[in-house]
Chains A and B, each alone.
Chain A
Amino acid sequence: MTIKHCDYSQHYRPRMAFTKKIEALVLEMQDPDTGIKTQTQRLVITTIPHAMTGHDILEWIINRLQILDEEAQNIGNLVVQYGYIYPLQEPKNLILRPDGSLYRFQTPYFWPTQQWPAEETDYAIYLAKKNIRKKGVLEDYEKENYNILNIRLNHKWDFVIMQAKEQYRAGKERKKADRVVFEFQERAYWLVHRPPPGAPNVIDYGLDRFSDPNENQVTQKKTFDVYRREIIFNQHSMMKSRVKSSVSLGGIVKYCEQYFNHDPIMTGCLPSNPWLTDDTQFWDLNAPLSEVPTKLRVERWTFSFRELLSDPRGRQDFQLFLRKEFSGENLAFWEACEDLKYGDQSKVKEKAEEVYKTFLAPGARRWINIDGKTMDITVKGLKHPHRYVLDAAQSHIYMLMKKDSYGRYMKSPIFKETLNKAILPEPTKISESKFPFNKRHRRSSPSPVILRQLEQEARAKAAATGPVDITQLCKFTSPIPHLTVYTGFCEPTSPTGTALCDFPPPSPGLMTLPNSTACPSPICVAIESTPASERKFEPSSISTRFLSIAESTEMSVSSDSSTAVVKETKQPSHKSLVALSFSRFLKRGCSNSPIFATLSPKCPAVNSGKVQPMNGEPQHQPQHNHHHHHQGQQKTKKTNNFFQIKVDIPSECRIYPIDSGDEEEEDCPNSVKNNTVKEVICPWETITEEGKAG
Chain B
Amino acid sequence: MHIQNIKVANEGTVNSMKTREECKAYVDALIKVIACYRHLATSVGGSSDCSNLRDELKRTREKAQDFAVANRNKLTLCLRDKNLPKDDRVEMERLWVSFSSSLELFHADMCKVFEMGQSFSFSSQNNLFVQTGMSGATSDIAARALSVQNINYDETVASMDRLEQKDEEEQIDKVDKMIYDIEMKVNVLRWTVEAKAPMYTDPLSNDTSSVAMLSLEDDDNDQCCDRGQVIVSVILCVIAMVAVVLSVCVVYLA
Interface on A for B, CB 8 Å cutoff?
1-2, 4-5, 26-28, 30-31, 35, 38, 41, 43-46, 48-51, 89-92, 104-110, 115-116, 119, 121-122, 128, 131-134, 136, 146-147, 150, 154-185, 187
Q: Are A44 and B119 in contact (CB under 8 A)?
A: no
Complex CA distance for A178 and B210, rounded to whole angstroms: 16
A-B pairs with beta carbons under 8 Å apart, 20 shown: A27-B130, A30-B128, A44-B221, A91-B219, A104-B131, A110-B42, A116-B111, A121-B101, A133-B215, A155-B193, A156-B98, A156-B193, A158-B97, A161-B198, A162-B98, A165-B201, A172-B209, A178-B134, A181-B133, A185-B42
Nearest residue, chain B, Cβ from A154: B195
Task: Tell whether A107 pairs with B45 under 8 Å between CB atoms, given A30-B131, A158-B98, A166-B32.
Answer: yes
B246 within 8 A of A: no
**Which residues from B are CB-within-8-Å of A167?**
35, 38-39
Is B173 in contact with chain A by the CB < 8 A criterion?
no
B223 contact set on A, CB distance < 8 A? 43-46, 180
Question: What separation, in Å, do the CA atoms of A171 and B194 have in the docked complex?
Answer: 28
Does residue B47 face the partner (Cβ distance < 8 Å to A)?
A: yes
B65 in contact (CB, < 8 A): no
Closest to B36 in A: A170
- Contact status of A1 and B190, CB under 8 A, knowing A108-B120, A158-B98: yes
- Residue from B32, B44, B191 having most chain A Cβ neighbours under 10 A: B32
- Separation in Å of the A357 CB from the closest CB of chain B? 68
Chain A residues positioned under 8 Å from B44 (CB to CB): 107-109
List chain B positions with a Cβ less than 8 A from chain A.
28, 31-32, 34-36, 38-39, 41-48, 94, 97-98, 100-102, 104-105, 108, 111-112, 116, 119-120, 128-136, 138, 140-141, 143-145, 179, 183, 190-191, 193-203, 207, 209-210, 212, 214-216, 218-219, 221-223, 225-226, 229
Give chain A residues whose Cβ lies under 8 Å from the Cβ of B144. 170, 173
Q: A44-B223, A166-B35 are in contact. Are A157 and B195 (CB under 8 A)?
A: yes
The answer for the CA separation of A452 and B197 in the assembled complex, in Å, is 64
Main secondary structure of the interface of A (DSSP, over half): helix
Identify 14 new A-B residue pairs, CB closer than 8 A, beyond the known A158-B97, A166-B34, A184-B133: A2-B104, A91-B218, A107-B42, A107-B134, A122-B105, A154-B194, A155-B193, A157-B199, A161-B201, A166-B36, A167-B39, A176-B214, A177-B135, A180-B216
In-complex Cβ contact of A43 among B104, B135, B222 (8 A): B222
Residue pair A109, B195 in contact (C-beta under 8 Å):
no
Bound-state Cα–Cα, A131 to B197, Å = 14
Give the secondary structure class of B's interface: loop
The minimal Cβ–Cβ distance linking B185 to chain A, given in whole angstroms, is 12
How far, in angstroms, from A27 to B119 measured CA to CA in the complex? 11
The residue on B at minimum CB distance from A23 is B119
Q: B42 and A180: CB pair below 8 A?
A: no
Determine how close the nearest CB of chain A comes to the CB of B26; give it in whole angstroms: 13
Bound CA span A206–B172, Å: 29
In the complex, what residues of A have CB within 8 A of residue B134's CB?
A: 107, 178, 181-182
Q: Which residue of A lies closest to B131 (CB)?
A: A50
Q: Smallest CB–CB gap between A70 and chain B, Å?
A: 27
Instruction: From A110, A128, A174, A184, give the contact of B138 (CB < 8 A).
Output: A174
Whole-angstrom distance between the Cβ of B213 and the nearest chain A Cβ: 8
B111, B132, B195: most-surrounded residue (chain A CB, <10 A): B132
Q: Which residues of A contact B116 (CB under 8 A)?
A: 108-109
| A166 to chain B: closest residue by CB | B35
Q: Give the shortest distance, in Å, between B226 (CB) and chain A (any CB).
A: 6
Among A43, A156, A176, contact of B221 (Cβ-Cβ < 8 Å): A43
Give which listed residue, A109, A173, A183, contacts B140 with CB less than 8 A. Answer: A173
Most B Cβ at <10 Å: residue of A1, A43, A92, A104: A1
CA distance A393 to B41 in the complex (A): 73
Given the known interface contacts A116-B112, A156-B97, the answer about A109 and B135 at a Cβ–Cβ threshold of 8 Å is no
Separation in Å of the B142 CB from the closest CB of chain A?
Answer: 9
The contact of B28 among A106, A162, A185, by CB within 8 Å, is A162
Given A2-B100, A50-B133, A170-B144: A45 and B226 within 8 A (CB)?
A: yes
Which A residues lie within 8 Å of B129 (CB)?
30
- Nearest to B176 among chain A residues (CB) is A4
**Contact A181 B132, beta carbon cutoff 8 Å:** yes
One of A4, A45, A158, A179 near B229 (C-beta < 8 A): A45
| Shortest distance from the beta carbon of A281 to any chain B beta carbon, whole Å | 47
Residue of B nearest to A48 (CB): B133
- Give the residues in chain A near B43, CB-CB below 8 Å: 107, 109
Check A49–B200 contact: CB distance below 8 A.
no
Contact B131 A178 (CB under 8 A): no
A5 to B133, CA, bound (A): 31
Given known A-B contacts A163-B31, A181-B132, A169 and B194 have beta carbons under 8 A apart: no
- Most chain A Cβ neighbours within 10 Å, of B133, B194, B198, B202: B133
A-B pairs, 7 with minimum CB distance: A157-B195, A108-B45, A166-B35, A173-B140, A159-B98, A161-B197, A50-B131
Residues of A within 8 A of B36 (CB): 166, 170
Complex: A44 Cα to B219 Cα, angstroms: 13
Q: Which residues of A contact B179 (CB under 8 A)?
A: 4
Q: Are A119 and B108 in contact, with the CB atoms below 8 A?
A: yes
B35 pairs with A163, CB closer than 8 A: yes
Partner of B133, one of A4, A51, A170, A187: A51
Which B-chain residue is minimally distant from A32 (CB atoms)? B128
Q: A159 to B183, alpha carbons, bound, how many Å?
A: 17
Whether the Cβ atoms of A163 and B132 lie closer than 8 Å is no
